[in-house]
A = this chain, B = another copy of it.
Amino acid sequence: MSILNNAAAVLSCYGAGCTDVTVTEVSERLGLPKASSSRLLRAMREAGMLETIGGTRRHRPGRMMLDLAAAFRHSSSLISRASEVVVTATRQFGHTGYISLLDGREVTAVADFEGTNLLRVVSNIGRRLPAHLSATGRSLLARMSDEEVRRLYDGAPEAKVLLRELARVRSQGFAVSEQESTEGVDGIAVAVGDPSTNEAIALCIVFPHALVGEPERDRMIAALGDGAEEIARSLGDRAFIPPKLENRITT
């Protein structure tokens, strides 16, 4: 068990609302002796991976993580192109937009773009959601074959329902979330990929459930879909599914 794995295990503690840790908490969560935890956190501090909050015992990720997250975002021309599309839609409609990607069975937001309407949506960056319970996740899963989805959700009770849901997403070319992950907030998502890097991302807009009617939703779907289609064409994404509003299935 290398120290690098221990360090990564410490870093994995962050998330799901955990913003800082102490020596004792690390010791308990990783099952390491106190002495090892103390030395590990110290070494990580000195390497810049962690920093203490105001000289207290509380350790948070070091500020180098800001640079690293940005480098991740900039490493992908797919993300850059999709960001342009979502920014434009965010400005056009005034609602908040996201770029998200899959990591195992979860989605995580890569970038967000604040809207101007009255709805202040908590930033999704750093917040992981089950893929099958979010529009972005479903739009991304819909790009996979049923066999691939079955393998990913092997043994999971939600697999059967999910496969039916994904058939629907494929038919429509977009995924919809209705107050699913946030009360009062709906979302629409369209996924697109880059075959040269074998990655895919979801473009998403979220908006207040009660204030946005179907005509505006259609316009947003079209805006995301047209932009994503342009990206798919220029990157050669043969798995792209263009949104077809006439195929919309209402619940």
Contact = CB atoms under 8 A, between A and B. Distances in A.
A57 B140 CA distance: 25
A126 B47 contact: no
A43 B126 contact: no
A7 interface: yes
Contacts of A56: 197
A49 interface: yes
B14 A67 contact: yes
A153 interface: no
A48 B4 contact: no
A237 to B, nearest CB: 13
A137 to B, nearest CB: 15
A46 B116 CA distance: 41
A197 B60 CA distance: 12
Interface in A1-46: 2-5, 7-8, 11-12, 14-15, 18-20, 43-44, 46
Interface stretch (A68-76, A168-176, A221-229): A68-76
A110 interface: yes
B66 A12 contact: no
- Among A8, A15, A71, the most chain B Cβ lie within 10 Å of the Cβ of A71
Contacts of A116: 91, 116
- What band does the interface of chain A fall in when counting residues whose beta carbon is under 8 Å from B? 35 or more
A218 to B, nearest CB: 23
A89 B208 CA distance: 22
A120 interface: yes
A54 interface: yes
Contacts of A55: 198
A53 B67 contact: no
A16 to B, nearest CB: 9
A69 B71 contact: no
Given A14-B68, A19-B71, A116-B116, A197 B53 contact: yes
Given A8-B48, A71-B15, A63 B103 contact: yes
A19 B114 CA distance: 25
A125 interface: yes
B71 A68 contact: no
